[in-house]
């Protein structure tokens, strides 16, 4: 489009940089704020330009000019040259105002910034040291837009800063060009409009919202994969991660303008003695996910590190580590893993190394050792080492006690401290949230109908939540291989669901009077509604499953007295198994705040994942672990958000008593009793008809 009748203002970047260009007679020397016509655009970044005033023609570097449209050019031609810039600036402000009310921001120029690469066009408004504005007309930035790791990185950075542990001596990422670029790629909608980056104060919020919006884009395949990571990361994990991420970021920043990760940074080939030994036993797909691998190769990958310059790889690696540590018990034992990690730590140097090579290898070893310690930290902090395999803890302490060399000794000491801290800390099962005032429970004399449905719903929620938080990843993963089963926390959690179903049925069927039955149904519908409001989908589903079960739904005459039938029908839509309980899935997606999820469909997912992706002998199907990790993260996602509900002792004990009692009933009892009730209903109806017929 520019080739047709292009017009350009030309702005010398700085006055000092131009003379070197003007040495060449083919070049067209130009002044700041000049307007030139472009006649030819070369790929090389050198454009042929013509100065209309004196028909001078020559090459100009494209990086120093910026396209303007004909209309603006005409107007600017009639402006004095030294005022053109301001005029132009005002014009830009004016045109950008409609789409973006934020005025173009300024950022301090960085001395020694390498010349920008060709696709971007810069306009320098003022002399060096003064504010600078980028008016990038081509949205195609150097940062890969679809790269999720950047989002991840920013998230971590933010959390890191919120923790107020941000090292003071580091330059603020806000002032780095990286950060301002990130705005651009994070807000694709704004790419087309020509305007500057938002001002600094707005930077943080822009990133957050954009990242959230991006995370919601379901078409992006990698987002669901990373979401659990974003949400799981808390506390210490974030700290270590953000340290790494930050390190990577700063190096990136210092290395100059953005480069596309990995591909453009020429990495020297690693010498043979630093190469991973088992990498040929690893099968990686195009997205960098490990599909298959032998145990040795997987453990090696665990302690391998991608270039710290490569943030995408870093994020992938963190994900890999988390998947590995959550699922390794499905393909090996903790003892084997521990021994392999220790062996990696104590790795012997390869033979035939020259002195220089040995030194390099040694540096590499220390880095590997540091990573081994980091894996232990993650295992301890996030992956339940103490709960799951206490025998490892003592071995680990012993192992750490032997580390005395200066670079790693402090890290080892820290780890030992972590172990003792975790050992002696009181396990806080339910994260504390300030409970609301306890409800005044009226004397209910064991009559359900005298209770407040809201109270029942709240206490049920509290009970279910307590059982839900106890569910561990291992419960979920071990779920499908029956051999390892038994009474797990998951069974208890699922069992509560069944108990509630039974209770609902019994409470209705045990009433002889039709009116009482109808009110009990009404009562339960209210409970279900309240449960839904509280995001307690486990109880909600249990109640409506009970109500819609055959033994209850066949009592037509009872239902005729129920006014809230429509409410129940609306709730039942969520309980449709169609599309793998698509109703629940979408409901759960939208949840904010505390929640007790309904997890039946995730359990099916887990079985399908394990049937679909299977290990092939030595080759462990890591993709299966990755998928399982995603599903387990989805199941446990809400564990960290506690309800602020106070326990009401009388109601709670009432609930617990009934959940215990009613479950003892034989399944045939429901059927017999239901038949009995139904027949008496019909008999009463017949009597009434008879009476009516007799004239009463």
Partner 1 sequence: MAPTPTPAAPVINCKLLLIGNSSVGKSSLLLRFSDEQWLPEDESSATIGVDFRVHKMEVGGRKVKLSIWDTAGQERFRTITSSYYRGAQGIILVYDVSNRESFDALPRWYSELETYVSDDVVKILVGNKVDKEFSRQVPTSEGQAFATRMSSLFLETSAKTSVGVNEAFQGVVQRILDTPSLWQGTQGVGQSTGGGRGGMPGGVQVVGLAEGQGQAHSEGGCAC
Asked if residue 214 lies in contact with residue 220, where contact means CB atoms within 8 angstroms, the answer is: yes
* CA-based radius of gyration for the chain: 34
- How far is 288 from 313, CA to CA, in rounded Å? 8
Question: Of 311 and 502, which CB lies nearer to partner 1 in the complex structure?
Answer: 502
Q: Return the residues of window 565-604 that contact partner 1 according to CB under 8 A.
A: 572, 575-582, 585, 600-601, 603-604
Helices (H), 510-564: 514-533, 537-548, 550-553, 556-559
Paired residues of 596 in beta bridges: 536
- Minimum distance between the CB of residue 609 and partner 1, rounded to whole angstroms? 10
The DSSP call for residue 51 is: E
Q: Is 510 in the site for partner 1 (CB under 8 A)?
A: no
Which of 491, 510, 567, 650 lies at the binding interface for partner 1 (CB under 8 A)?
491
Q: Is 668 in the site for partner 1 (CB under 8 A)?
A: yes
Q: Given CA atoms 582, 585, 591, 593 in this order, what sign does their dihedral have?
A: positive
Q: Is 660 in the site for partner 1 (CB under 8 A)?
A: no
Q: Is 607 in the site for partner 1 (CB under 8 A)?
A: yes
Q: Is 667 in the site for partner 1 (CB under 8 A)?
A: yes
Which of 251, 296, 554, 565 lies at the binding interface for partner 1 (CB under 8 A)?
554
Q: Given CA atoms 76, 81, 85, 87 in this order, what sign does their dihedral have?
A: negative
- How far is 321 from 315, CA to CA, in rounded Å? 10
Query: Which range, of 325-333, 380-388, 493-501, 654-662, touches partner 1 by CB under 8 A?
Result: 493-501
Could you tell me the CA-to-CA distances from 189 to 6, 186, 393, 402 in Å, in that order? 26, 9, 51, 56
Contacts with partner 1: how many residues (CB under 8 A)? Answer: 48
Q: Is 479 in the site for partner 1 (CB under 8 A)?
A: yes
Strands 122-123 and 290-293: unpaired
Could you tell me the CA-to-CA distances from 309 to 91, 245, 289 in Å, in that order? 40, 9, 19
Paired residues of 284 in beta bridges: 290
Query: Which range, of 51-59, 151-159, 356-364, 551-559, touches partner 1 by CB under 8 A?
Result: 551-559
Q: Return the residues of window 311-340 that contact partner 1 according to CB under 8 A.
A: none
Q: Is 555 in the site for partner 1 (CB under 8 A)?
A: yes
**Of the candidates 88, 40, 77, which has an alpha carbon nearest to the alpha carbon of residue 62?**
40
- Minimum distance between the CB of residue 670 and partner 1, rounded to whole angstroms? 8
Which of 377, 480, 539, 624 lies at the binding interface for partner 1 (CB under 8 A)?
480
**At 358, which helix (H) or strand (E)?**
helix 355-382
- Minimum distance between the CB of residue 656 and partner 1, rounded to whole angstroms? 19
- Minimum distance between the CB of residue 642 and partner 1, rounded to whole angstroms? 24
Query: Which range, of 161-169, 296-304, 446-454, 491-499, touches partner 1 by CB under 8 A?
Result: 491-499
Which of 608, 619, 637, 665 lies at the binding interface for partner 1 (CB under 8 A)?
608
Question: Of 80 and 218, which CB lies nearer to partner 1 in the complex structure?
Answer: 218
Query: Which range, of 74-82, 87-95, 415-423, 553-561, touches partner 1 by CB under 8 A?
Result: 553-561
Question: Of 428 and 667, which CB lies nearer to partner 1 in the complex structure?
Answer: 667
Tell me how far apart the terminal alpha carbons of the chain are, to the nearest angstrom. 93
Q: Is 659 in the site for partner 1 (CB under 8 A)?
A: no
Query: Which range, of 377-385, 400-408, 459-467, 478-486, touches partner 1 by CB under 8 A?
Result: 478-486
Structure tokens at 565: 């039938």
Let me know the angle formed at the C-alpha of 201 by 195 and 204, rounded to the nearest 5 degrees.
90
Which of 84, 151, 497, 526 lies at the binding interface for partner 1 (CB under 8 A)?
497
- Minimum distance between the CB of residue 294 and partner 1, rounded to whole angstroms? 24
Q: Is 617 in the site for partner 1 (CB under 8 A)?
A: no
Question: Of 397 and 549, which CB lies nearer to partner 1 in the complex structure?
Answer: 549
Query: Which range, of 192-200, 302-310, 350-358, 608-616, touches partner 1 by CB under 8 A?
Result: 608-616
Which of 146, 671, 689, 691 lies at the binding interface for partner 1 (CB under 8 A)?
671
Structure tokens at 404: 């005395």
Q: Is 489 in the site for partner 1 (CB under 8 A)?
A: no
- How far is 686 from 675, CA to CA, in rounded Å? 16
CA atoms within 13 A on the CB side of 585: 14
The count of other CB atoms within 10 Å of the CB of residue 398 is: 9
Q: Is 482 in the site for partner 1 (CB under 8 A)?
A: yes
DSSP states of 251-265: HHHHT-S---TTTSS
Which of 40, 275, 346, 556 lies at the binding interface for partner 1 (CB under 8 A)?
556
The DSSP call for residue 596 is: B
- Minimum distance between the CB of residue 685 and partner 1, rounded to whole angstroms? 12
Q: Given CA atoms 152, 157, 162, 165 in this order, what sign does their dihedral have?
A: positive
Question: Of 244 and 480, which CB lies nearer to partner 1 in the complex structure?
Answer: 480
Which residue bears the tokens 């209850």? 552
- Minimum distance between the CB of residue 597 and partner 1, rounded to whole angstroms? 13
Q: Return the residues of window 216-255 that contact partner 1 according to CB under 8 A.
A: none
- How far is 576 from 574, CA to CA, in rounded Å? 6
Contacts to partner 1 by CB under 8 A:
479-482, 490-491, 494-495, 497-498, 501-502, 541-542, 545-546, 548-551, 553-556, 572, 575-582, 585, 600-601, 603-608, 611-612, 667-668, 671, 678
């Amino acid at each position: 489009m520019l080739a047709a009748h292009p017009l350009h203002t030309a702005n010398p970047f700085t006055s000092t940089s131009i003379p070197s260009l003007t040495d060449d007679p083919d070049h067209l020397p130009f002044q700041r704020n000049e307007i030139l016509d472009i006649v030819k655009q070369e790929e090389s970044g050198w454009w042929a330009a013509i100065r209309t005033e004196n028909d001078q023609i020559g090459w100009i570097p494209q990086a120093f000019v910026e396209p303007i449209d004909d209309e603006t050019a005409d107007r600017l031609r009639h402006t004095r040259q030294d005022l053109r810039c301001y005029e132009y600036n005002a014009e830009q402000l004016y045109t950008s105002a409609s789409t973006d009310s934020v005025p173009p921001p300024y950022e301090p120029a960085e001395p020694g910034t390498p010349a920008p690469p060709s696709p971007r066009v810069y306009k320098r408004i003022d002399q060096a040291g003064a504010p600078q504005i980028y008016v990038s007309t081509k949205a195609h930035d150097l940062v890969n837009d679809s790269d999720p790791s950047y989002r991840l990185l920013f998230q971590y950075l933010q959390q890191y800063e919120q923790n107020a542990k941000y090292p003071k001596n580091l330059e603020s990422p806000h002032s780095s060009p990286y950060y301002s670029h990130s705005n651009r790629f994070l807000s694709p909608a704004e790419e087309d409009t020509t305007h500057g980056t938002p001002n600094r104060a707005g930077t943080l919020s822009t990133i957050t919202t954009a990242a959230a919006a991006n995370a919601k884009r379901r078409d992006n395949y990698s987002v669901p994969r990373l979401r659990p990571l974003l949400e799981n990361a808390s506390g210490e994990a974030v700290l270590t991660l953000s340290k790494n991420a930050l390190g990577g970021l700063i190096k990136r920043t210092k290395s100059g303008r953005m480069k596309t990760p990995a591909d453009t940074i020429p990495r020297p080939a690693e010498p043979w003695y630093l190469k991973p030994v088992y990498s040929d036993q690893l099968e990686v797909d195009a997205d960098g996910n490990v599909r298959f691998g032998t145990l040795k190769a997987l453990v090696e990958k665990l302690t391998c590190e991608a270039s710290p310059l490569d943030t995408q790889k870093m994020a992938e690696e963190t994900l890999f580590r988390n998947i590995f540590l959550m699922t390794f018990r499905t393909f090996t034992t903790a003892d084997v893993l521990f021994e392999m990690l220790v062996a990696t730590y104590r790795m012997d140097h390869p033979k035939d190394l020259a002195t220089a090579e040995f030194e390099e290898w040694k540096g590499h070893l220390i880095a590997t050792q540091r990573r081994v310690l980091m894996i232990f930290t993650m295992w301890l902090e996030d992956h339940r080492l103490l709960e799951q395999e206490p025998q490892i803890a003592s071995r680990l302490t012993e192992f750490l006690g032997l580390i005395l060399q200066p670079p790693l000794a402090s890290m080892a000491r820290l780890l030992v401290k972590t172990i003792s801290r975790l050992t002696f800390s009181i396990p806080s099962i339910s994260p504390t949230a300030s409970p609301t005032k306890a409800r005044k429970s009226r004397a209910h004399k064991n009559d359900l109908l005298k209770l407040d449905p809201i109270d029942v719903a709240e206490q049920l929620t509290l009970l279910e939540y307590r059982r839900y938080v106890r569910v561990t990843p291992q419960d979920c993963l071990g779920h499908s291989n029956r051999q390892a089963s038994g009474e797990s926390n998951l069974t208890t959690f699922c069992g509560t669901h069944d108990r509630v179903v039974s209770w609902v049925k019994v409470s209705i069927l045990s009433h002889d009077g039709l009116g009482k039955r109808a009110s009990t149904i009404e009562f339960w519908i209210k409970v279900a509604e309240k449960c839904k409001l509280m995001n307690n989908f486990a109880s909600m589903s249990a109640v409506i499953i009970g109500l819609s079960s055959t033994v209850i739904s066949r009592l037509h005459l009872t239902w005729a007295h129920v006014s809230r039938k429509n409410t129940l029908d609306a709730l039942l839509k969520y309980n449709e198994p169609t599309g793998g309980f698509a109703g629940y899935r979408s409901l759960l997606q939208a949840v904010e705040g505390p929640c007790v999820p309904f997890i039946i469909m995730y359990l099916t997912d887990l079985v399908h994942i394990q049937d679909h992706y299977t290990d092939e002998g030595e080759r462990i199907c890591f993709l299966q672990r990755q998928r399982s990790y995603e599903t387990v993260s989805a199941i446990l996602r809400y564990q960290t958000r506690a309800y602020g509900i106070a326990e009401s002792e009388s109601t709670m004990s009432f609930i617990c008593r009934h959940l215990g009692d009613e479950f003892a009933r034989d399944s045939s009892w429901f059927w017999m009793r239901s038949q009995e009730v139904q027949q008496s209903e019909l008999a009463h109806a017949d009597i009434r008809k008879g009476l009516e017929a007799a004239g009463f």
